[in-house]
Structure 1
Amino acid sequence: MFWNGVAGVYDVFADGGFDKVIAGNVLHLLDEPRAALVELGRVCKDGGMVVIPTYLGRRDDGSVRGLSALLGCIGVKFGKQLDLGSYCSLLQAAGYGEVHVELIEGRLPCALGTIRKTRPVGWSEA
């Protein structure tokens, strides 16, 4: 659950309460996507999967894709326009261990991230 662009699961669900957690096409709409990723990992059990398909509103060169620009003009609020690199960096910054990302091409490409939770989310080697 997300409210006002911020992860809002908090204590509604127990730590490690789910085998699989899916957040479909939401990261690009959030003001704090990293907080949402940490929260998704919190409610996923160790060894479980987090699945995060997300539209990529930017090209690799940083320019906004036409469809994303059009949606923005009609009032769709994007918290963060992502390209494939920034999507992967976001997953890594949230502390996920084993991450697999597949690019699904289209007018508005989608990155499909699947994550096996192998360590506490938010953990860092630094």
Structure 2
Amino acid sequence: MGATSSSGTGPLYAFDGYYYFYFEATRRTAGESYYIYDNNIRFENKTYCLSLAYHMYGIGMGTFVISTSSKALGYKQHFSVTGNQGEKWHNIDVNLPLNKDTWIYIVAIRGKTYMNDIAIDDVILMPSPCSP
């Protein structure tokens, strides 16, 4: 897949392979949130490592958030970054304490302009804590 459909934003290529997922900012309003979430998996009660690459390039860039929510553990934000991060991919590893009722949220919040497509790639959830 090449660049996103909006010029001046988004990646030119995937971090790994040919495809990536992105949140399109065109025809959306500032502050609007886009979610990827799931709790179809019944997690064991332990810490998992979420590893992924993210790309945040463009004028008026919004915010990228990773959070979890469950009855037992409540809502917790584990990672957040705001603003233009340059025309490059960034790797993160995030420890997520999970249990059978946990929802994982990957969220993009639109910034001020259409030039803030946020992309993710190479998403892996491992059943052990992240290495230091």
**Shared fold per TM-score greater than 0.5:** no
Bucket of the pairwise TM-score, normalised by the shorter protein: 0.3 to 0.5
Taking CA–CA contacts closer than 8 Å with sequence separation of 6 or more, which of the two structures ends up with the larger relative contact order? 2
TM-score under structure 1 length normalisation = 0.34
Structure (1 or 2) with the greater helix fraction: 1
What is the TM-score when the length of structure 2 is the normalising length? 0.33
Largest Rg, 1 or 2: 2
